[in-house]
């Protein structure tokens, strides 16, 4: 694997975006219909890029929520460093500037033979191509006792919204000296560094407001993403505050007792003042019901067009897919969505095909002024997405480099959400 410098990577990422924006014009035939299910990062990007690149395609976006709250940067909200409103994005620009038909409903079922989607309100949408981007769901019975009622006491906050606000309220009302227990999920899951970023930023909040509080991470794994960077930062910024217990030490979390706010492992019970339980994950429910997921619980796709390997004419992007080396991140969902949009536009309108540029760039906060970054590019090899070039932050980076990464992340957030939601 070749290593890139930051500058080389920024230049290439910029060139990819320009390629993305200079898209072919569609031929003048009758409008083909593309329905996109899920107005999160993957779905909104497919809709936007299809609508922008091919006027001969009518794009309908199906999303139940009136506005979308980003998971990325939600850990800053939990730490009191950002208002919740700053995470929220509406669909008005997609509708007005790009002419996308936005339908605020849930898709109830997909009928690939008839090429229709049934909505929860009883109506039906017909399509020539369908894109499904439903994000994640939690695996049934992943943790004994962790049902919907328990989630209201020990929130997951792994889909941003009411759950994130609930966790913030609990952290705010927790007494100084309380124990915050974070249950980290098994692989694969949405955003590999995010549980540990959450522990870091909650620690920064405790340091400011509740200096006697402690954080215990009960992990389903024996190691985690960027572990050296996190553990170095925990020693530097929050000595003695965060304890991480791997599965080999605890035997893994087996059950939750919401009544006593306890997390139960093979050998011990940990009673929390506040608990954040992030369960094992799989592709969103609709993908499961529609037979788009295989036995792994995730959806196999063609790595060039993102067409389902199980259902022709249906494409999938984002966290729901089996992405090979691509992690489940917003940046990856956005990158896959552009490749998918161009493949669909080429098929439906006969416009030129472009080689897919697939990237992940990720900023992760260790403290408000200390963030690390990584940038990886991917290409299809033997039917799988393989990482080919990467830049990853190092433990020994200077505090100035880390401070700059924290500021660059803020700029990234604004540019990225503009790219997705217009």
Closest CB to ligand FAD among residues 157, 263: 157
Residue of 38, 185, 297, 422 interacting with ligand FAD (CB under 6 A): 38
**Among 140-148, 208-216, 226-234, 326-334, the segment contacting ligand FAD (CB under 6 A):** 326-334
Bridge-partner residues for 167, per DSSP? Answer: none
Instruction: Give yes or no for residue 72 binding ligand FAD (CB under 6 A).
Output: yes
- What is the number of the residue whose Cβ is closest to ligand FAD? 40
72-80, 241-249, 261-269, 338-346 -> range binding ligand FAD (CB under 6 A): 72-80
Spatial neighbors of 331 by CB under 8 A, at least 6 apart, are 359, 360, 361, 362, 416
Interior CA angle at 215 toward 213 and 219, to 5°?
A: 170
Q: How far apart are CA 363 and CA 413, in angstroms?
A: 10
User: Looking at beta carbons only, is 265 or 374 nearer to ligand FAD?
Assistant: 374
Stretch that binds ligand FAD, among 15-23, 32-40, 232-240, 374-382 (CB under 6 A): 32-40
C-alpha 196/C-alpha 312 separation (Å) is 38
Residue 333 makes contact with ligand FAD by CB under 6 A = yes
Contact pick of 362, 367, 371, 385 for ligand FAD (by CB under 6 A)? 362
Site string for ligand FAD, 274-293 (x = CB under 6 A): ----------x-x-------
Residue 191 or 247: the one with the smaller Cβ distance to ligand FAD is 191
User: Which span sits near ligand FAD by CB under 6 A: 14-22, 48-56, 312-320, 381-389?
Assistant: 312-320
> In DSSP terms, which residues pair with 314 in a beta bridge?
130
Does 194 contact ligand FAD by CB under 6 A?
A: yes
Assess 133 for contact with ligand FAD (CB under 6 A).
yes
Report, in Å, the least distance between residue 194 CB and ligand FAD.
4
CA 349 from centre of chain: 31
How many residues touch ligand FAD under the rule CB under 6 A: the total is 37
Tell me if 307 contacts ligand FAD by CB under 6 A: no
Q: Which of 358, 311, 340, 281 is nearest to 133 (CA)?
A: 340
- Work out whether 188 is an interface residue with ligand FAD (CB under 6 A): no
Residue ranges that bind ligand FAD, judged by CB under 6 A: 37-43, 62-65, 68, 71-72, 74-75, 106-107, 133-135, 158, 190-191, 194, 198, 284, 286, 318-320, 328-331, 333, 362
């Amino acid at each position: 694997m070749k290593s890139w410098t930051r500058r080389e990577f920024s230049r290439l990422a910029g060139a990819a975006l320009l390629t993305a924006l200079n898209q072919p014009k569609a031929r003048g035939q009758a409008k083909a219909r593309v329905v996109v299910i899920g107005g999160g990062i993957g779905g909104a990007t497919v809709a936007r890029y299809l609508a922008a690149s091919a006027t001969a395609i009518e794009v309908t976006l199906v999303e139940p929520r009136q506005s979308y709250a980003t998971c990325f940067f939600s850990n800053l909200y939990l730490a009191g460093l950002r208002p919740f409103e700053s995470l929220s994005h509406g669909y008005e620009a997609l509708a007005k500037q790009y002419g996308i038909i936005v339908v605020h409903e849930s898709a109830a079922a997909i009928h690939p033979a008839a090429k229709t989607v049934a909505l929860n309100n009883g109506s039906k949408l017909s399509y020539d191509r369908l894109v499904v981007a439903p994000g994640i769901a939690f695996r049934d019975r992943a943790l004994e006792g962790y049902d919907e009622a328990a989630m209201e006491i020990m929130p997951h906050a792994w889909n941003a919204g009411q759950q994130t606000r609930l966790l913030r309220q609990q952290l705010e009302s927790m007494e100084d000296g309380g124990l915050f227990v974070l249950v980290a999920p098994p692989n694969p899951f949405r955003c590999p560094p995010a549980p540990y970023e959450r522990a870091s930023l909650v620690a920064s909040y405790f340091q400011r407001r509740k200096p006697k509080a402690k954080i215990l991470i009960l992990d389903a794994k024996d190691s985690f993403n960027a572990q050296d960077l996190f553990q170095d930062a925990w020693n530097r910024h929050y000595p003695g505050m965060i304890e991480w217990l791997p599965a080999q030490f605890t035997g893994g979390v087996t059950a939750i007792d919401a009544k006593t706010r306890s997390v139960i492992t093979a050998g011990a019970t940990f009673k929390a003042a506040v608990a954040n339980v992030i369960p094992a994950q799989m592709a969103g429910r609709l993908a499961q019901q529609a037979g788009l997921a295989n036995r792994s619980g995730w959806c196999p796709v063609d790595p060039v067009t993102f067409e389902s390997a199980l259902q022709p004419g249906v494409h999938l992007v984002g966290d729901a897919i089996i992405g090979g080396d691509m992690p489940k991140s917003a940046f990856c969902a956005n990158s896959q969505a552009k490749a998918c949009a161009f493949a669909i536009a080429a098929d439906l309108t006969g416009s030129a095909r472009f080689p897919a540029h697939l990237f992940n760039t990720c900023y992760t906060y260790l403290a408000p002024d200390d963030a690390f970054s990584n940038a990886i590019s991917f290409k299809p090899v033997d039917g799988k997405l393989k990482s080919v070039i990467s830049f990853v932050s190092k433990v020994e980076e200077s505090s100035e480099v880390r401070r700059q990464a924290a500021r660059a992340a803020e700029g990234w957030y604004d540019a990225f959400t503009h790219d997705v939601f217009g």
